[in-house]
Amino acid sequence: MSSQTLSIVVAICTCQRNHLLRQVLASIDTAQYCEKSDIHVLVVDNHISQSAKLVVGEFSNFHYPLHYSFALHPGIPYDRNAAIEWGLAHHMDACIFIDDDEIAHEHWLVTLVDYYIQHWPEVQVITGPVESIFTASYPTYLPEDAHNKRRLKRQTGEVVSEAYTNNVIFDLAICKESGLRFDETMPLYGGTDSLFFRQVVNHGYKIVWNKQAFLYEQIDADRLSLIWLVRRHARYGVTFVHMTKKLSKKNSAFRHT
C-alpha cells in the first residue's frame, strides 16, 4: 500500500432513514476534498424497500464515486459485512465507517485519511470522537453523559482497546488475513462493532485514537427519554454477555495454540 495508490471505501449503513442519509451524504460532499486517496462512498441499504437507492440517485454530481448495495438480511452486522465484501471485491485498501445519523466535519475525512497514511503499517485502525448535537432540549432527569461520546480525556496517538463503526478507518487486510467479520448470530442486539474491533486487537492489530478526526451525531427527541435509555442498556446487557463469551472462547483458543 502507498499514499499514491490508496483506495478507500467510506461505508454508510442505513435502514429507512432517508432524511438522515441525505444529511450525511451532503456533509461528505461539501467537506474538504480528499486528494491523497481514491475515495469511494458506499451506501448499504438494510430495508426490503431499497428506498435508499432513490437517495443515492439524487446525488448525481457527488464529488466521489457513489455506490449502492443492498443487504438481504435484517440487522446491522449484515450491512457491515456487505461493506467489507464490497471493499474486498473492488480491491479497496481500507474501509471507513460512518453512521447515517452523523454529520461529517469539514476536515474529518482528510484528517482521518492523512493520519492513517502517516501511521500505516504500524497502526492498522484509527478511530476518533463523535460529538452529540441535540435537536430537542436535554431532559434534566437524564445523566449528563448519557449521550457523551467524545471521550475527551483521550489524546491523539493513544492506543485503545476497541473502536466503533461511528467513526473509524481500518486496513481491509485485517479481514483478508484473519477472516474476521462482524458477528451475525445476534443481528438485532447491537454491539457487534465493539466485538469486532476487540477481536481485531486480540489478533495482534493496533487501534489508535485521533481526537482531531471528529464527527457530529444528531440526537433526536425520541432518544432523549428514560424509556429509550433503559431499553438501550438492557440491550447492552445482553450484548455484553454474548461478547464476553465470544472473546473468552477466542482467548482460550489462543492459549491452546
Helices 192-202, 226-255: axis angle to 10 degrees equals 20
Cβ partners under 8 Å of residue 138, min gap 6: 224
Task: Say how far apart CA 127 and CA 47 lie, in whole Å.
Answer: 28
Q: Is the pLDDT of residue 3 over 50?
A: no
pLDDT band at 255 (very low <50, low <70, confident <90, very high): very low
Total structural domains within the chain: 1
Residue 252 has pLDDT above 80, yes or no: no
Please report whether residue 2 resides in a domain: no
Q: Which three cell numbers stand for residue 228?
A: 429509550
Checking if the pLDDT of 251 tops 60, the result is: no
Q: What is the pLDDT of residue 96?
A: 98
* Residue whose cell numbers read 446491522: 76
Of the spans 114-128, 131-145, 227-241, which averages the highest pLDDT? 114-128
Strand ranges for 163-212 from DSSP E: 168-171, 207-209
Q: Is residue 167 part of a domain?
A: yes
Q: 10 Å Cβ neighbour count for 87?
A: 22
Residue 159 in any domain: the answer is: yes
**Residue 196 included in any domain:** yes
Looking up cell 475515495 gives: 39
Q: Is the pLDDT of residue 101 over 80?
A: yes
| 234 within a domain of the structure (yes/no) | yes
Give the mean pLDDT of the chain: 87
Confidence label for 17 from pLDDT (cuts 50, 70 and 90): very high
User: Quick check: 256 pLDDT over 50?
Assistant: no
Range of the structural domain that residue 56 is part of: 7-255
Q: Is 60 exceeded by the pLDDT of residue 254?
A: no
pLDDT band per the 50, 70, 90 thresholds, residue 137: confident
Q: CA distances (Å), 19 to each of 95, 104, 191, in order?
A: 24, 15, 25
Contact yes or no for 112/213 (Cβ under 8 A): yes
pLDDT band at residue 30 using 50, 70 and 90 as cut-offs: very high
Catalogue the E-assigned strands of 20-82. Answer: 38-45, 66-70
- The C-alpha cell at 119 is 501511521
Written as one letter, the residue type at 131 is E
Provide the pLDDT for residue 97.
98
| Domain contains 238 | yes
pLDDT tens, position by position, 143-187? 666 656 545 579 999 999 999 999 999 999 999 999 999 999 887
CA distance 20 to 217: 10
Residue 101 lies in a domain: yes
78 belongs to a structural domain: yes
Instruction: For residue range 55-72, list pLDDT tens digits in order.
Output: 999 999 999 999 999 998
Distances (CA, A) of 194 to 98, 101, 119, 236, 256: 14, 18, 22, 11, 25
Sheet holding 66-70, edge to edge: 66-70, 38-45, 7-14, 94-97, 168-171, 125-127, 207-209, 159-160
Amino acid at 185: T
Mean pLDDT of 195-221: 93
Q: Does pLDDT of 142 surpass 80?
A: no
- Tell me, what CATH number does 15's domain have? 3.90.550.10
Q: pTM for this structure?
A: 0.85
Q: What cell was used for 184? A: 451475525
pLDDT band at 1 (very low <50, low <70, confident <90, very high): very low
Read off the DSSP letter of residue 63. S
